[in-house]
């Protein structure tokens, strides 16, 4: 239908209304696009969509139309109303986006300023190493015992098959205290203490401070040892090998290269030093001393060596920590310098 | 002990390559600790023969040599040393040779001549510190062959028998023959002695032993008419290879035989022994002698000496005396081969701080039964190199030695301990090669006698060890350990330790580890309970007493960090304090399980200084309320919520107005506060230091178990803030108590949020502001209920605490 024909069929009132509508649309669009802020936009909403707004005005003029024309006018009015509403909303959105942008621009900070970092403390490397070792042996079923650091000479030496004449018993090698006691030179007295109070079979580790009369670049008068031992009716060197292999695999990975080398300790027989191959250094590193518990030692602990056998092993925690964390100087371990400690 | 592989191979006949030989030494339990390559390991050093030595025109000291070092053309080598002559055998380093100092030989030009290698001195090769000039080798070494490898062997204290070339060879023969595809045998040196003189030894000298316990066996020979001079080159080179300095043919022989067979010997100038006799006796108290190193020694009655009719002529087993020393003019010699009790030698050696190759062996134990083997070997070598004649017979004092019986070894026991499956035949084979004798065996029970050089073997376990080290630990298969119970939860104290250290780390504390001993002055800073334990032989005086508190160590750490300009110190330590708590004469059994001293485990933390932690934070200095906050925090991490607060005024090392403690069920759980300024001042610390300590035994005993969750409140709360004006001495805790008491069941919480003591306050008064929360668990409170109850609270505060509401 051409517009002429349509016009011919429609009353003057309808034609006028539609014409008014037609001029409102572009004017509204223009005004909304020009609105500079939320206030101007609200004014336009009232101007067009308010109770006394331009569309309401036209709406009232619908009363003059006949029933056939009303829907036509209503539809046109609605279309215009929706269109203006949409335009207002769109403009509103774009204005608020711009406002937000402007506000955010003022909030910008120098993102290269340092973050406010909470100060983190740190466990001592010896404590970290002790935890790691202990948790490996715990997972293997070992229980943890402890023993005193100030010992009788009997517990520290005689009971462990170290005779009176042994160099370790010299003032040059061990630290002695009042009343004829000695600062334990190893964690091994805990073996005897455990034997005297527990009934085999058992598997135990113990860790702690030990002392020697020694102080230079590679020796500290106080250091830390871990000692493990298992006693039962059927324990052999094969068990010792397995336990230490398991431990070293847990510590250094499953491909670790290990060597057992004959050595001598008064409290084990046969004795073995255990070395781990260091690819980085290209040499074997001594990490553990071990062996089958000497029958005299079992006997001193009240355990019948004919009925029971056992193995024992020990390691220096400080040295192991130094290897693990690449600590170059032993003195750093006891200087308690925060710059050193914070690294762990 | 330094061992020359070349020397070793004089006795050890084997097809095992040198590299594997070194591994085998370690596998025997004689650890190779260090190796010096003289060609046998790398092939980069060979024996060369000097064909020509000619001067270089224009050069004064440097000469050009032609050296035959392989089958090809002679090598042209420039050399600056003056001791070289045509015909000598010398060590020739080829390009690529690595020297002990790390230097790698590369081609270079000297005086415009590019040499084809380098002639080496003993010093350059790491053989000797003293040697000058090129190291001249014996004439009989093969030209073109790698020369040697020197290894430092670590011999454990139980194996003095291995402190000789023969000793190592003996182990290796046993070891190598258990290795697949290799063989070894031992060729002993010639121990024959040619007594060429007609004179009997008894007519020339006498030996008597007074100190029979310390010297049960003593043997000697006399060699007459020797000419003292340098020893033959082969012997000098052997001694240098072993790290010894050649002296003269007589002394060198005694050293050579000691290194070869393991038994130390001593040679006296017989003509300087008064009465031509030696007496083995103890020194008299205060007796003085001069040893051949020129040192004047004052002796004790426990020292063993060799004396002549008048005076000591040697410190037995340790060092000879200057008065009987072999000199250029010596012609007649008394040669001693004796056994001395190890403990006696060790005591004297330690006391006089005099350790020699000889004392090292005697104090570990020597073979008392084979004295004459070494004696004869040395006498023969002296006669050969010094040209004298050996008198007929041996002077001997042969006391009784304890006889070792045979050892019973059970094959099943051996296999059980080692996890192996050996037969009596396998075992016999190994033991025999080591010099043991299997008297009889029925396949299970073996009876074995021990060779006299193995002082360390006396029980079955010792034999088991011999088998283990020779058969090799690599033959033993891993066997998984099955434990009866695999679940052993950590002890309460271990849990308390872990909980507290994790809590401390989370709050920025670093863990310190201090020595357990401190200086006596530092102990005085903090004192402590119980009797001070002194270290009898401390290394330094600041390690003289066992600590009775963790505070002095941590204070020292504060000083250290402050000195490094680290001003924000937060450290914690977990460790024992030590003290005697029992009277001195408390009788203790040897196997008493009770610790001999009180060792009390503590957790301690120190805060000192402070500062600006970040660009946004304010300057902050730690004070009492920081440490109190941490004290609360640590208790709460232990699951301890309920405790009493008590001011502390009775601890001298804490600030009397800034210290307190928390008690749980009457036990002191934390003591904390600012360290007394009079103490920090002694250490030159100018800032506040805060400290707390928790006795771990008590913490472990009281710490809470699992958390019991409470429901969160369902009904709304009403909050009322009040600002109270109270006396300046009023305590926040007392006000809080009144509030709680009066607020009864409706008071759900009270929190102090402000303290004001400024000049707007009336004198003697201060203001404390609290926030009170009212809530009922089962309903919403009505306004009137809150008004009424809050009124009661205010009234109570007024009545009991003289508090008024601030306008």
Domain-wise residue ranges, chain A: 3-106, 125-341
Poorest-confidence range of A18-22, A240-244, B583-587? B583-587
User: B614 and A116 in contact by Cβ < 8 A?
Assistant: yes
Locate B627 and state its tokens. Answer: 């440490």
Q: Which residue has the tokens 């006997």?
A: A299
Q: Are A278 and A286 in contact (CB under 8 A)?
A: no
Contacts of residue A63, Cβ cutoff 8 Å, sequence gap at least 6: none
Q: List, as ranges, residues 93-122 from A with C-beta within 8 Å of B.
A: 113-114, 116-122
The arithmetic mean of pLDDT across residues B663-684, rounded, is: 96
Which of A:56-85 have CB within 8 Å of B? none
Q: Helix, strand or coil for residue A54?
A: helix
DSSP string, B521-541: HHHHHH--SSBPPBBSS-SSG
Of A236, A339, A342, the CB nearest to B418: A236
Average pLDDT over residues A195-204: 95
Q: Give the residue from B96, B55, B100 showing the smallest Cα distance to B78.
A: B55
Q: How far is B586 from chain A (nearest CA, A)?
A: 11
From A150's Cα to the closest Cα of chain B, the distance in A is: 7
pLDDT value for A9 = 58
pLDDT over 60 at A8, yes or no:
no
Q: Which two tokens stand for residue B270?
A: 């017989």
Is A6 within 8 Å of chain B by CB? no
**Residue of chain B with shortest Cα separation from A178:** B534
Using alpha carbons, list the distances in angstroms from residue B520 to A169, B397, B543, B545. 25, 55, 8, 6
Q: How far is CA A126 from the centre of its chain?
A: 19
> Using CA atoms, how far apart are residues B721 and B771, in angstroms rounded to an integer?
4
Checking if the pLDDT of B402 tops 90, the result is: no
Whole-number Å distance between alpha carbons of B90 and B51: 11
Q: What is the mean pLDDT of residues A1-26?
A: 71
Q: Do B359 and B259 form a contact (C-beta atoms < 8 A)?
A: no
- Choose, out of B33, B102, B511, the residue to mutate when testing the contact with A (most A CBs < 10 Å): B511
Average pLDDT over residues B699-714: 89
**Residue B153 reports pLDDT greater than 80:** yes
Is it the case that residue B251 has pLDDT exceeding 60? yes
> Which residues make beta-bridge pairs with B13?
B185
ipTM: 0.89
Minimal Cβ distance to A241: which of B476, B509, B575: B476
Average pLDDT, chain B: 94
What is the mean pLDDT of the segment spanning B219-229?
A: 97
Angle between helices A125-139 and A237-252 (to 10 degrees): 130
Mean pLDDT lowest among A49-53, B265-269, B560-564:
A49-53
| CA atoms of A161 and B588, how far apart (whole Å) | 20
A123 and B514: CB-CB below 8 Å? no
| Interface membership of A252 toward B (CB under 8 Å) | no
Report residue A1's pLDDT band, with 50, 70 and 90 as the boundaries.
very low
**What mean pLDDT comes out for the span B12-24?**
95
The reported pLDDT for the residue numbered B61 is 85
Taking the whole predicted model, whether its pTM rises above 0.95 is answered as: no
Instruction: Kindly report, residue by residue over B634-645, the tens digit of the pLDDT.
Output: 999 999 988 999
Q: Report the percent of chain B where pLDDT is more than 70.
A: 100
Whether B574 shows a pLDDT value over 90: the answer reads yes
Per-residue pLDDT of A165-179, as tens digits, reads: 776 677 778 999 999
Query: Cβ distance B302 to B348 under 8 Å?
Result: yes
Instruction: Report the chain A residue with the minimal C-alpha distance to residue B505.
Output: A121
Domain A125-341 annotated CATH 3.40.605.10: no
What would the mean pLDDT of B46-74 be, rounded to a whole number? 91
Other CB atoms within a 10 A radius of the CB of residue A289 amount to 22
- 10 Å CB burial of residue A180 (0-12, 13-18, 19+) is exposed
Phi, then psi, of A102 in degrees rounded to 5: -65, -40
What is the Cα–Cα distance from B526 to B517, expressed in whole angstroms?
A: 14
Distance from C-alpha of B572 to C-alpha of B630, rounded to nearest angstrom: 12
Yes or no, beta carbons of A238 and B504 under 8 Å apart: no
- A248 touching chain B per CB within 8 A: no
The whole-angstrom separation of Cα B430 and Cα B319 is 38
Chain B interface includes A140 (CB < 8 A) = yes
Which of B478, B488, B597 is closest, CB to CB, to A241?
B478
Taking an 8 Å cut-off on Cβ atoms, the answer to whether B483 and A203 are in contact is: yes
- 3-state class (DSSP) for residue B78: strand
Residue B658 corresponds to which tokens in the numbers above? Answer: 């800034």
Pairing of strands B296-298, B304-307: unpaired
pLDDT digits (tens, 9 = 90+) for A203-219: 999 999 999 999 998 99
- The pLDDT of B467-492, averaged and rounded, is 90
Cβ(A163)–Cβ(B343) below 8 Å? no
How large is the average pLDDT for residues B361-377? 94
CB–CB of B417 and A237 under 8 A?
yes
B316 pLDDT exceeds 90?
yes
Ramachandran category for residue B597: left, alpha or beta (phi over 0 → left; psi -120 to 50 → alpha): beta
- pLDDT at residue A3, rounded to an integer: 52
Mean residue pLDDT across chain A: 91
Distance from CA of B259 to the nearest CA of A (A): 22
Query: In angstroms, what CA-CA distances link B670 with A207, A234, B255, B293, B694?
Result: 26, 48, 67, 63, 5
Cα distances from B174 to residues A319, B189, B417, in angstroms, run 35, 18, 21
Average the pLDDT over A325-334 and give the result. Answer: 94
Q: Which residues of B touch A181 (CB under 8 A)?
A: 596-597
Q: Is pLDDT at B132 greater than 90 in this prediction?
A: no
- A141·B508 Cβ contact <8 A: no
Residues of A in contact with B159 (CB under 8 A): 264
- 8 Å CB contact of B343 and A165: yes
Query: What was the pLDDT predicted at A10?
Result: 66
Distance from CA of B396 to the nearest CA of A (A): 29
Of all residues in chain B, what percent carry a pLDDT higher than 90?
A: 86
């Amino acid at each position: 239908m051409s517009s002429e024909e349509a016009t011919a069929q429609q009353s003057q009132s309808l034609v006028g209304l539609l014409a008014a509508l037609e001029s409102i649309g572009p004017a509204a669009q223009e005004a909304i696009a020009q609105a500079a802020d939320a206030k101007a936009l609200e004014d336009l909403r009232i101007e067009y969509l308010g109770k006394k707004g331009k569309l309401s005005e036209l709406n009232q003029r619908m009363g003059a139309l006949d029933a056939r024309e009303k829907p036509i006018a209503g539809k046109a009015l609605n279309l215009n109303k929706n269109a203006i509403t949409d335009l207002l909303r769109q403009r509103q959105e774009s204005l608020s986006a711009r406002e937000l942008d402007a506000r955010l621009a003022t909030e910008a900070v120098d993102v290269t300023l340092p973050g406010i970092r909470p100060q983190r403390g740190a466990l001592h490397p010896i404590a970290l190493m002790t935890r790691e070792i202990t948790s490996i042996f715990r997972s293997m079923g070992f229980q943890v015992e402890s023993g005193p650091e100030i010992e009788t000479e009997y517990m520290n030496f005689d009971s462990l098959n170290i005779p009176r004449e042994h160099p370790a018993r010299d003032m040059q090698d061990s630290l002695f205290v009042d009343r004829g006691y000695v600062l334990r030179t190893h964690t091994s007295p805990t073996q005897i203490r455990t034997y005297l109070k527990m009934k085999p079979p058992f598997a135990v580790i113990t860790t702690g401070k030990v002392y020697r009369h020694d102080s230079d670049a590679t020796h500290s008068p106080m250091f830390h040892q871990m000692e493990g031992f298992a006693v039962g009716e059927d324990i052999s060197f094969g068990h010792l090998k397995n336990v230490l292999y398991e431990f070293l695999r847990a510590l250094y990975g499953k491909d670790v290269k290990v060597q057992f080398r004959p050595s001598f300790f008064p409290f084990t027989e046969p004795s073995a030093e255990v070395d781990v191959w260091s690819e980085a250094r290209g040499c074997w590193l001594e990490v553990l001393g071990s062996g089958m518990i000497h029958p005299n030692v079992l006997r001193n602990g009240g355990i019948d060596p004919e009925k029971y056998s056992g193995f024992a092993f020990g390691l220096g925690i400080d040295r192991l920590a130094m290897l693990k964390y690449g600590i170059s100087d032993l003195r750093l371990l006891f200087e308690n310098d925060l710059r050193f400690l914070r690294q762990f | 002990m330094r061992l020359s592989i070349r020397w070793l191979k004089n006795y050890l006949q084997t097809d095992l390559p040198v590299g594997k030989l070194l591994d085998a030494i370690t596998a025997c339990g004689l650890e190779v600790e260090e190796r010096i390559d003289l060609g046998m390991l790398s092939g980069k050093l060979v024996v060369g023969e000097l064909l020509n030595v000619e001067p270089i025109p224009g050069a004064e000291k440097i000469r050009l040599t032609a050296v035959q070092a392989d089958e090809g053309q002679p090598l042209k080598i420039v050399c600056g040393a003056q001791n070289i002559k045509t015909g000598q055998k010398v060590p020739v380093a080829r390009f690529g040779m690595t020297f002990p100092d790390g230097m790698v030989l590369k081609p270079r030009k000297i005086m415009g001549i590019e040499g084809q290698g380098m002639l080496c001195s003993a010093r350059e090769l790491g053989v000797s510190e003293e040697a000058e000039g090129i190291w001249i080798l014996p004439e009989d070494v093969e030209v073109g062959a790698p020369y040697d490898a020197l290894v430092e062997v670590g011999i454990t204290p139980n194996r003095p028998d291995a402190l000789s070339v023969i000793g190592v060879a003996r182990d290796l023969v046993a070891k190598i023959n258990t290795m697949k595809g290799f063989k070894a045998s031992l060729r002993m040196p010639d121990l024959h002695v040619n007594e060429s003189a007609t004179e009997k030894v008894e007519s020339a000298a006498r030996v008597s032993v007074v100190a029979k316990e310390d010297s049960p066996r003593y043997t000697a020979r006399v060699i007459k008419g020797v000419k003292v001079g340098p020893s033959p080159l082969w012997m000098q080179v052997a001694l240098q290879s072993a790290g010894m300095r050649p002296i003269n043919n007589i002394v060198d022989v005694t050293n050579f035989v000691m290194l070869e067979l393991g038994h130390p010997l001593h040679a006296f100038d017989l003509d300087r022994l008064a009465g031509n006799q030696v007496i083995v006796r103890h020194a008299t108290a205060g007796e003085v002698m001069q040893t051949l190193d020129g040192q004047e020694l004052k002796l004790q009655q426990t020292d063993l000496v060799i004396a002549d009719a008048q005076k000591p002529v040697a410190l037995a087993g340790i060092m000879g005396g200057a008065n009987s020393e072999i000199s250029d003019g010596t012609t007649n010699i008394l040669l001693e081969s004796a056994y001395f009790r190890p403990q006696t030698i060790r005591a004297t050696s330690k006391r006089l701080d005099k350790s020699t190759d000889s004392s090292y062996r005697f104090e570990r134990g020597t073979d008392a039964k084979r004295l004459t083997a070494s004696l004869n070997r040395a006498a023969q070598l002296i006669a050969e190199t010094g040209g004298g004649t050996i008198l007929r017979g041996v002077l001997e004092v042969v006391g009784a030695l304890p006889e070792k019986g045979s050892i019973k070894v059970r094959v099943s026991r051996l296999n059980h301990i080692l996890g192996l499956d050996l037969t009596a035949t396998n075992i016999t084979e190994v033991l025999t090669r080591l010099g043991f004798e299997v008297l009889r065996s029925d396949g299970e029970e073996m009876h074995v006698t021990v060779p006299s050089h193995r002082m360390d073997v006396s029980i079955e376990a010792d034999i088991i060890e011999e088998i283990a080290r020779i058969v090799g630990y690599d033959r033993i298969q891993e066997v998984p350990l099955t434990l009866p119970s695999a679940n052993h939860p950590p002890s309460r104290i271990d849990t308390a330790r872990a909980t507290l250290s994790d809590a401390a780390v989370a709050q920025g504390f670093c863990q310190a580890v201090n020595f357990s001993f401190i200086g006596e002055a530092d102990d005085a800073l903090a004192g402590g309970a119980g009797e001070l334990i002194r270290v009898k032989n401390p290394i330094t005086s600041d390690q003289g007493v066992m600590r009775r508190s963790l505070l002095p160590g941590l204070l020292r750490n504060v000083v250290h960090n402050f000195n490094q300009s680290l001003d924000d110190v937060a450290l914690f330590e977990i460790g024992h304090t030590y003290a005697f708590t029992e009277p001195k004469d408390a009788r203790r059994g040897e196997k008493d399980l009770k610790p001999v001293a009180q060792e009390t485990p503590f957790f301690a933390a120190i805060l000192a200084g402070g500062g600006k932690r970040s660009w946004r934070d304010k300057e902050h200095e730690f004070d009492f309320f920081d440490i109190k906050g941490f004290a609360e925090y640590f208790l709460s991490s232990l699951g301890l919520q309920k405790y009493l607060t008590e001011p502390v005024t009775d601890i001298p090392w804490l600030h009397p107005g800034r210290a307190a403690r928390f008690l749980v069920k009457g036990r002191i759980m934390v003591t904390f506060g600012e360290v007394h300024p009079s103490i920090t001042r002694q250490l030159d610390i100018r800032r506040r230091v805060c400290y707390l300590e928790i006795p771990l035994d008590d913490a472990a005993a009281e710490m809470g178990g699992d958390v019991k969750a409470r429901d969160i409140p369902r009904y709304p709360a009403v909050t009322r803030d009040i600002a109270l004006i109270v006396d300046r001495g009023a305590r926040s805790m007392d006000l809080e108590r009144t509030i709680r008491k009066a607020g009864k069941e409706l008071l759900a919480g009270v929190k102090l949020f402000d303290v004001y003591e400024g000049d707007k306050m009336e004198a003697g008064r201060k203001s404390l502001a609290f926030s009170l929360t009212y809530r009922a668990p089962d309903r919403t409170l009505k306004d009137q209920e809150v008004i009424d109850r809050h009124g009661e609270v205010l009234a109570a505060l007024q009545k009991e605490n003289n508090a008024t509401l601030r306008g």
